[in-house]
Structure 1
Amino acid sequence: MRLVGPEGEQVGIVPLERALQLASDVDLDLVEVAPMARPPVCKLMDFGKFKYESALKAREARRNQQQTVIKEMKLRPKIDPHDYETKKGHVVRFLKAGDKVKVTIMFRGREQSRPELGFRLLRRLSEEISDLGFVEASPKQDGRNMIMVLAPHRATKAAAATAGHRSREPRDAEAAGAPAATADTSTSAE
């Protein structure tokens, strides 16, 4: 077998017994790194330290991953203008937070024969929020529902990520070291 030393230097081709003897002399483990090579390649290393460092790297990679959250907003084709504005406000808030939004239009009864109403509503919503996000999945009919997915722009996501770091700071004025503001609740009857 071909043997590689602890610092990566080539020791050469040695028999298995000699490799095990070298490993025990320097108090390291003999680890087979390329079993399919001819001859197989083994390395002298501290295997416990190797496993610990690889676990640390994996944990760091998970920490740096970004979680994708999909929020859902349900609408009806005959939605009242005020209700539409309220729902649109929720969609805007979700997009500003950096989340994707799944917008669902639910059809009931005769509404199912008029899918163009839902399509127009979804198109109107996508045009009104175009500065915050874009249509990731265009509207499509799925049984009684019509579904569209909106995703935030990269700049919006980046702003949400930096705002997320700032939100961990103390919100309370006393916790931040500023004096507490007192509200004057007294009334004067003159």
Structure 2
Amino acid sequence: MLNKVVIISTSTVLIALLSLFFISHNSYAGWSAYSRITPENIHEQRFKFTFNKVKFSKQFKLTLDDHYVGNGKEEEFSILKKSAWIVLTKEPLNIAEQNLHRYFGDSSIIYDSEVLFISKLGYTQDSSNKNVLEVVLDKTQLSSAYIYVGYDRPVNDGGLRYTIDLKTFYMDYISKN
């Protein structure tokens, strides 16, 4: 009888400790949201994204202005903000594959045979001295280029992660010009 009490008590303590571990352990939250951004749903977003052709060239300038992306140092209290990366793949990705979260592990980038290039985007100041992310790409790169926004390390609250499908913006530009 005493052995049963000891086993039950030990099991209860072990379950309680494991529960505490999983509750306090940082992870990419399963409840985080993901969106694929295209010209059809860009107006629903809280951030600004511009896609413009560079005059007299075959390049396009992409600008992302998202308050939640940055280094967090400009805030009164330093906070964890999201980062943005440009991702170039060998072939265009289907819609399900465009959730690029799988390439960003615990503070590291994971490559596979599909990825040609991943680079974190830097900041520049726009005309109003506001920090924005900019990248210039040749039109030949746009069919398999994506901007991915998310956290570059594990977080308690997953927040919104999103991929901007640059091919859809290029096709939209072509259809209007």
The TM-score, its normalising length taken from structure 2, stands at: 0.29
Larger RCO of the pair (alpha carbons < 8 Å, separation 6+):
2
Bigger proportion of residues as strand: 2
Which structure has the greater CA radius of gyration? 1
The TM-score, its normalising length taken from structure 1, stands at: 0.28
Bigger proportion of residues as helix: 1
